[in-house]
Amino acid sequence: MMKRNLMVVGLATLLSACGFQLRGTSDTHFALTELDVSARNVYGETVKEVRNQLENSRVKVSSGAPYHLILTREDSQRRSASYTGAGRSAEIELTNTLDYEIRGANNLLLLQNQQEVQSVYAQDQSNLGGSEQEAVQQTVELRQRLVRNLLQHLQMITPQQLEQLQQAAQAKADAEAKAAAEAAAAAREAELAQPQQSPLQLLPRE
């Protein structure tokens, strides 16, 4: 089973490396013209596709951009959706999720979201090789759908909206910092107001 999973991942990566195109994003227009992009999985195929599609849509991907898109978590689940009379899996359900966030100046969190996509394919016990090829195809298409959904979300975001979120996040951070400073100052004042006990103690008379 482990060898099969490794084969699926390897073939899916190969398909992406061979230029397997992400459909439906070549004419996407973005209000954002510059964006920094990174991921927990630095060398993952998803972050590569996101960068490529943004650049193809004339969005400058740069570490100096005012806003930072971070793919914080990507997960893939595989389970049996139905069974044959012999108790073997007849259909396999794949579920991929992608968590991401956008941060602004001072690394303040502006927004966060999750995309989820699912797919079901038939598993032929008499043709496991064909079933694995179908799994590879589904894996690639699920990743494409995740990226497409993410790009559609980014497409709706304007610099003005992010600026408003930045101002709100900065105001919240400043208020929290002020409250923490006031609490620390109050704690110091309370400590200074306590009577100081002399380290010398009088011995009782005999």
Tokens at residue 75, please?
A: 């997960």
**Each residue of 51-66: pLDDT tens digit?**
999 999 999 999 999 9
Proportion of the chain above pLDDT 70, given as a percent? 74
Is the pLDDT reported for residue 99 higher than 50? yes
H or E element, residue 61 = strand 60-61
Tokens at residue 170, please?
A: 């900065």
**Beta strands, E only, the chain:** 34-39, 60-61, 68-83, 89-103, 109-122
Q: Are 39 and 70 in contact (CB under 8 A)?
A: yes
Question: SS3 of 142, please?
Answer: helix
Say which amino acid occupies 85.
G
pLDDT score at 44: 92
Tokens at residue 113, please?
A: 């979201």
Select the more confidently predicted residue: 197 or 16. Answer: 197
Band of pLDDT at residue 21, cut at 50, 70 and 90: very low
Rounded mean pLDDT, 168-192: 92
Q: What sign results for the dihedral spanned by CA atoms 10, 13, 17, 22? A: positive
User: CA-to-CA distance for 54 and 155, rounded, in angstroms?
Assistant: 10
Select the more confidently predicted residue: 10 or 48. Answer: 48
Say which amino acid occupies 79.
R
Q: What's the chain's average pLDDT?
A: 81
pLDDT score at 89: 59
**Beta strands, E only, 84-181:** 89-103, 109-122
Kindly list the structural domains of the chain, giving each domain's residue range(s) and its CATH number in brackets, ordered by start: 2-157 (3.30.160.150)
- Residue given tokens 């090829």 in the structure block: 133
Is the pLDDT reported for residue 144 higher than 50? yes
Give the closest residue to 61 by CA, choosing from 162, 142, 144, 154.
154
H or E element, residue 3 = helix 2-17
